[in-house]
């Protein structure tokens, strides 16, 4: 039997289709529970107005990112928007949290979630799902400012991402922002790992 002092923290990986509201749920979680710890991704893209280095992202040069890859400092990384920039999940902060018996939350895309599961099989994967396909289409189409072919591509990608739900340990349905954030917190802190996906609405 493992004592509480020796128990590793839970690594929770949040992913879901484009337009489902992952960032909004994480922002709501930050607002409701400011002491909760989130992994800060390293990125080579330029810092945007209002963003804080070390809070929103860890902004690094392309050379520094290359060094991090070479020194195995990233649990996973990917090229974004056909190589315009790269982003990745730093290993050391997460390892330190888990070793201390504390939980860690990472928000990534589907491929990032798969890569994190490969790097850390004990990771608990949470899929953020829309209340319906129609609701997701409405969010993706948005203001109608994108070209039809762009919308069609995003919808195709979303269908592929939704089809991957069975790879995850739990599903949170984003019907209401606050409820989704509270359900996610429960999974981070309390919920035991299950072999079959659990749905939370």
Q: Beta strand pairing status for 104-107 and 124-129? A: unpaired
d(CA 122, CA 197): 15
Segment 95-151, tens digit of pLDDT? 999 999 999 999 998 989 999 999 999 999 999 999 999 998 888 887 566 778 878
8 Å CB contact between 200 and 181: no
Please state, in angstroms and rounded to a whole number, the distance separating the CA atoms of residues 128 and 142.
Answer: 19
Are β-strands 11-15 and 104-107 bridged in parallel, bridged antiparallel, or unpaired? parallel
| pTM beyond 0.85, yes or no | no
């Amino acid at each position: 039997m493992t004592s509480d002092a020796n128990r590793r923290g839970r690594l929770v990986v949040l992913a879901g289709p484009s337009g489902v509201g992952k960032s909004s749920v994480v922002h709501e979680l930050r607002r409701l529970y400011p002491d909760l710890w989130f992994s800060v991704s390293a990125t080579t893209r330029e810092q945007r107005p209002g963003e804080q280095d070390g809070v929103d992202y860890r902004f690094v040069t392309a050379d520094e990112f290359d060094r991090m890859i070479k020194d195995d400092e990233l649990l996973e990384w990917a090229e974004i928007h056909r190589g315009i920039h790269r982003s990745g999940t730093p290993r050391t902060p997460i390892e330190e949290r888990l070793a201390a018996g504390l939980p860690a939350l990472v928000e990534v895309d589907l491929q990032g979630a798969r890569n994190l599961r490969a790097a850390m099989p004990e990771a608990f994967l949470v899929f953020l799902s829309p209340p319906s396909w129609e609701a997701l289409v409405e969010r993706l189409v948005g203001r109608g400012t994108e070209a039809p072919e762009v919308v069609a591509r995003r919808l195709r990608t979303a269908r592929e991402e939704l089809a991957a739900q069975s790879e995850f340990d739990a599903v949170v349905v984003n019907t209401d922002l606050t409820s989704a954030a509270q359900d996610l917190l429960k999974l981070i802190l309390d919920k035991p790992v299950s072999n079959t996906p659990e749905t939370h609405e």
